Structure 1
Amino acid sequence: MATIDLKGKIALVTGSSSGIGRAIAVALAAGGAKVAVNYLRSREDGEETVRTIREAGGEAELFQADVSKVDAIEALVRAVEETFGAGVDILVNNAGHLVRRCPNADMTEELYETIMDVNFKSAVFVTKAVLPGMKAKGGGAIVNLSSLAAHDGGGPGASVYAASKAAIVSYSKGLAKELAPAGIRVNTVSPGFIGRTAFHATFTSEEGRKATVGRVPLGREGTPDDVAGAVLYLVSGLAAYVTGETIEINGGLFMR
């Protein structure tokens, strides 16, 4: 039976300086992968992710890039490939942001583009950039991060964010069909209410948190490690026959 053994694999996790991205990077490194940690603004947080991995005996390097910009994406992937000496085997498109809550009546073109670029465009073009290297290696695994908001529309003022995360689900299914002949699997994880993240610290009140957790059948909020565990499964040999799938990680709050 297959096991989780990522030794020799090169993994790129976008937006991995903190929260869910950090947990994913740490989990992949614990599985044996060499991890490219990506950050946008906080180098200190990115360095903390790298330090956590190295102190546990893993291998990681830090890369700054705004993955909503195509030129920055292309430079990022080149730097990762040059640093590790080969193409990416595992891509986790984790970078994303609500940006701010805004009712549609107040939506501007600039805000719309910012939300769509960080949540959807980033996944499309980071994927494009790693594909030549992945195909040259004869296969790979891609995991895209969606959200419970993709299914229920999200909270107040989050309709465009929710739409961007719904786009991730459809995109991943189409991409899974497109890349299957190249031996590349594509799957999605869709987190629900995950605590201990900057997202909810910024956008969710304590009252809202308690109300949401009160509706979760498992009786608690999720943790970044809950999401990381699903990603680790999807990129491993345990999921060798899984592609085009979306795994919901929400404690039973939403069941398909």
Structure 2
Amino acid sequence: MKSAFELSARKVVVIGAAGGIGQATARVFGGLGARLVLADREAPTDLAAEIVAAGGEASASACDVASRDAVEALIAGAGDIDALVYVAAICPWDDWTDDGWDDVFDDVLAVNLRGAVFAARAAMPGMAARGGGRIVLVGSLAGKMGGLIASAHYVASKGGLHALVKWLAQRGGPQNILVSGIAPASTATPMMEGKSVDLERIPLRRMSSPEEIAWPTAFLCSDAASYICGTVLDVNGGVYMA
């Protein structure tokens, strides 16, 4: 191994890979030598082809993360998994007083939180049998301090995801399954297009790029993070300082 910060030949499943942070994560991991299984509601075939054309290894699958059966089928079909990155998320910009908000709340929890439970539950037994693995759940600043502009369902789902990181880490640690999280602030992705963010509240005075979230995620999946377990890493430009 040339460096502890590489992922050569490791099989990594990225759920939510089609755009934004997930797409950047796939490209970064591909560049570090990971063998990728990329999943989203619609299979990100173009992204997989791009990574293969650049000399990497990647396949694309469609997966409805709200379906336990679909998530379990994805994990089973991926084979021996070294790392799982869960990036799938939706962030509707409605208000909790709007008609139909309760149904939207259920949808947000299904994608942002319940799908992560399905994925981790499916992946952990195989990781344990092979002597360990890594799981990274991508949360949000919103789950730590209420966010900057997010609605209540998104905040609740990401706060739950951060708690899930710690619950999974306690159970995975003894089996060398290191579970961690990432908590970005506002990131320049399609999800944020047209949304007004008060940059004065961010000490760095800008939103992050998707790549600035992808690289710390890769770090957590590498040997360089071999003693990090149960941490939700703040990558937010200084908005939240614990």
Per the normalisation by structure 1, the TM-score is 0.88
- Identity over aligned residues, as a percent? 31
SS in 1 for 2:59: strand
Q: Partner residue of 1:15?
A: 16
CA RMSD of aligned residues (A): 1.8
Residue pair 1:103, 1:157 contacting (<8 A) in 2 also: no
Cα distance change of structure 1 residues 130 and 10 upon mapping to structure 2, 3 Å threshold: same
SS in 2 for 1:185: strand
Matched, 1:138 2:139: no
What stretches of structure 1 of length at least 5 have no aligned partner? 82-86
Q: C-alpha offsets along residues 2-35 of structure 1, whole Å, 9 cap, x if unaligned?
A: 6123222110000101110011111111111100
Q: Partner residue of 1:76?
A: 74
**1:1-256 correspondence to structure 2 within 5 Å:** 3-41=4-42, 43=43, 46-81=44-79, 87-104=80-97, 106=99, 108-155=101-148, 158-195=151-188, 197-201=189-193, 204-205=194-195, 208-209=196-197, 212-256=198-242
Q: Matched residues in 2 for 1:151 and 1:106: separation?
A: 27
Residue pair 2:147, 2:185 contacting (<8 A) in 1 also: no
Q: Matched residues in 2 for 1:194 and 1:36: separation?
A: 24
Which letter maps to 1:78?
A: A
Q: Partner residue of 1:84?
A: none
Q: C-alpha offsets along residues 102-150 of structure 1, whole Å, 9 cap, x if unaligned?
A: 2256464422211111000010011111112211211000000111111
Q: Matched residues in 1 for 2:33 and 2:117: separation?
A: 26
SS in 1 for 2:206: coil
Residue pair 2:182, 2:232 contacting (<8 A) in 1 also: yes
Q: Matched residues in 1 for 2:103 and 2:204: separation?
A: 39
Query: After alignment, is 92-101 or 148-157 more displaced?
Result: 148-157
Per the normalisation by structure 2, the TM-score is 0.93
SS in 2 for 1:20: helix
1:169 is displaced (CA, Å) by 0.8
Aligned residue pairs total 241
Give the structure with the higher percent helix. 1
